[in-house]
Amino acid sequence: MVRKKKGNELLNRIKEHYPTLSKGQKRLADYIGANYDKAVFLTAAKLGKAVGVSESTVVRFAMQLGFKGYPGFQKALEELVRNKLNSIQRMEVTYGRISQSEILETVLQSDIEKIKLTLQGIDQKAFEEAVDTILHARKIYIIGIRSCAPLANFLGFYLNLIFDNVIQIHTNSSSEIFEQMIRVGEKDVVIGISFPRYSMRTLKALEFGSSRKAKVITLTDSIHSPITLYSSCNLIARSDMASIVDSLVAPLSVVNALVVALCMKRQTEVIETLETLEDIWDEYQVYSNDELNQVNEKMEFTFDEDKEKDE
């Protein structure tokens, strides 16, 4: 069964209701069909102004399509354009939304909002299932490409401290992905990380893992993301789809929570590993703490004895 994407669902709604729409609402429908990439960032008032209708007409249009109000309609619009904006369009949109003096506050507030929305919407059962699946896997494969590579690297770094069966897939070419996954099987798990614009190489890797009956866990932005087609467990984290730089703060928080949960399940093994690592780090001076301690130990405070007597 082919899953219908939410974006197509919105266009289908507009098409079905079009004959019953008022003249002003039809103008809205026409404008959205031709300019959905712009309409998604407009408030109801601004959308009405762009089309030449009132704000109330825009709200009634959204309700006519079956939404409770304009926010619901705008969310459906976001799904429609989520994977269609290219880098140039993202930059144009960002420059149009944020003034130079507001950049710091706007970006940080946006990231805070993404974490809040992720917390409200994430499936706790899916999270627990992901933890259990990773704990019992023969091998753990991790794949994340381009802007998602730092997330995969972060997850891989810490899972290597917990388990001895982690394989982080390097993605210099498509063929290399399959060569690294050649032994994947039904007792293994493949963790795929992808956010708009979705990577076809990640999608193909998950398809390959699924065809070998491996369990697939995804970290992505929506249940309608293409990579969920092959997964049995989806961790959904909100990302900023329209900015110059992809905002992956909320996904990183989910990765962090996943690592902490796995550490709690393997406390004894993790403590033993860290104790061994601490000895190695000290012996080979991996961190600069040793140098700082040596300096601190030699620091002496000198006082002017004559000054002390005068006081």
Give me the mean pLDDT over the 174-190 stretch.
92
Q: Looking at the predicted structure, is the pLDDT value of residue 222 above 60?
A: yes
With pLDDT > 90 as the criterion, what percentage of the chain qualifies? Answer: 49
Contacts with 216 (C-beta within 8 Å, 6 or more apart), sequence order: 189, 190, 192, 206, 209, 210, 230, 231, 232, 233
| Interval 62-88: pLDDT, tens | 999 999 889 888 888 877 766 565 555
- Cut 0.85: pTM above it: no
What is the end-to-end Cα distance of the chain in Å, rounded? 89
pLDDT digit string (tens) for 145-167? 988 999 999 999 999 999 999 99
Any idea which residue has 């993202």 for tokens?
Answer: 90
Q: What is the pLDDT of residues 47-67, one digit of tens each?
A: 999 899 999 999 999 999 999
120-268 in CATH: which number? 3.40.50.10490
Q: Determine the CATH number of domain 6-81.
A: 1.10.10.10
Average pLDDT over residues 136-149: 95
- Label residue 7 by pLDDT band (50, 70, 90): very low
Of the listed ranges 24-33, 104-113, 128-137, 220-229, the one predicted with least confidence = 104-113
Q: What is the pLDDT of residue 93?
A: 53
Boundaries of every domain in the chain: 6-81, 120-268
The answer for residues whose C-beta is within 8 angstroms of residue 2's C-beta and 6 or more apart is none
- Distance CA(251)–CA(118), nearest Å, equals 8
pLDDT confidence bin for 104, thresholds 50/70/90:
confident
At 235, list the tokens: 């961790």
Q: Check residue 140 and give its pLDDT.
A: 98
Question: What pLDDT, on a 0 to 100 scale, did the predictor assign at position 247?
Answer: 82
Q: Rounded to whole angstroms, how far apart are CA atoms 294 and 178?
A: 49
